Structure formats: structure tokens, C-alpha cells
Amino acid sequence: MADFLELANARQSCRAYTGEKVAHEQLVKCVEAARLTPSACNSQPWSVVVVEDPKIVPQVAETTMQLGLNAYTKDASAFFVVIEERAKLMPGIAKLVDGQMFAKGDVGGFVLSLTLEAASLGLGTCILGLFDRPKLRELLDIPEEKSIFLVIAVGHPKKDAHRDKLRKPLEEVARFV
């Protein structure tokens, strides 16, 4: 089994893609890994639109190119559009807490699992929060009541050069008692 810490260190935001098509089976594996992510009360408050149609991919890329940013998405060969669904909690728990209290963290876990599986397959991903929501909603026929959480560009990375991660030191983020 692969060492998780090595995988976490290897995964990085990819901003240069070859344009080569990602195999459908690899996209399915990414979603399968994400689907297995734990969630509060097993509510699984997520769904995903996997965009791989070569006619639609460039249109999704265009929705992510905002404020002169994200031009590299034009070379991504697929996108995951992650939807935050309404959390469905057990009635006893739902009475005590707001049903959405845990959803954002759960969806974040879904995204982490998806991007780490992509990295394990040698794919590059970049998580995008800046995109034209109305245009994307219309393009992918996502109902108004659904919350588009974020978009993940995916493709074969142009370079495999590993960049050092710029992260806070362990001592700054953890306190052991």
C-alpha cells in the first residue's frame, strides 16, 4: 500500500496540462474514491458532475477564466463540478443541530479524496473557487436549488517537477497535550 504522507506531499495544484485525454476509467476511480469518504451521520452531502465531453470541456474551462486568471484550464481534459447537497441527518440529530452544520467539511473531505486519488493515478488537479456560477449552472443544467461548491480541473500534468510545498510549520498548526 502507498504511503499516505508521500501521496499528500506529492499532490499539488497543477497549472499546466498536456491536453491529452484522461481515460474515463480514471475519472470513475477518482469519483469512487471520493464517494467512499466518511461524512457526519453518513449524510454524504455531495454529488459531482464529471465533464469529459470534448465539446463541453472548453466551455467549462471558459467559465473558470475570470479576472484574467486560470487560463491554464483551457488545456485541462476534464472537470469535476462538485455540488454541495442538503445534508440528510437522522431525525433525532437533525432536531438538535442545523443539518448543514457538517456539510462543508464533509464536501471538503470528498474533494480531498478525489484529488488524492487523481494524484495516485498520475493526474494533475487544481481546485477552483473562481468561476461564473450562472453560466456554469446553465451549461451543465444544474438546478438553481443546487449549490455549486467548486470546480476541479483535471488532466495529465505537463511537467512532473515537484515544487516544495509552502506550508506553516507543524509547531504552528498543532499543539500536543
How far is residue 88 from each of residues 13, 92, 96, measured CA to CA in Å? 32, 11, 13
pLDDT at 80: 98
Q: pLDDT grade, residue 42 (50/70/90)? A: confident
pLDDT in tens, 149-175: 999 999 999 986 667 888 999 999 999
Calculate mean pLDDT across residues 31-48: 94
pLDDT at 87: 77
Q: Identify residue 70 by its one-letter amino acid code.
A: N
Find the angle CA(84)-CA(157)-CA(129) to the nearest 5 degrees.
25
Question: What is the rounded distance in angstroms from the CA atom of residue 123 to the CA atom of residue 7?
Answer: 12
Check: CB of residue 33 under 8 Å from CB of residue 25: no
Q: Quote the mean pLDDT of the chain.
A: 91
pLDDT at 164: 81
Is pLDDT of 46 > 60?
A: yes
The domains of the chain, with CATH numbers, are: 13-159 (3.40.109.10)
Question: What is the rounded distance in angstroms from the CA atom of residue 46 to the CA atom of residue 104?
Answer: 9
Question: What is the rounded distance in angstroms from the CA atom of residue 144 to the CA atom of residue 148?
Answer: 9
Percent of the chain with pLDDT over 90: 78
pLDDT in tens, 10-31: 899 999 999 999 999 999 999 9
For the beta carbon of residue 31, count every other beta carbon within 10 angstroms.
17
Q: Given 3-state DSSP classes, what are the helix, strand and coil percentages for the chain, each rounded to the nearest 5?
A: 40, 15, 45
Question: What is the rounded distance in angstroms from the CA atom of residue 78 to the CA atom of residue 57?
Answer: 6
Percent of the chain with pLDDT over 70: 90
Strands of the sheet containing 78-84, edge to edge, are 46-51, 78-84, 147-155, 124-128
pLDDT in tens, 76-104: 999 999 999 987 766 656 556 655 568 89
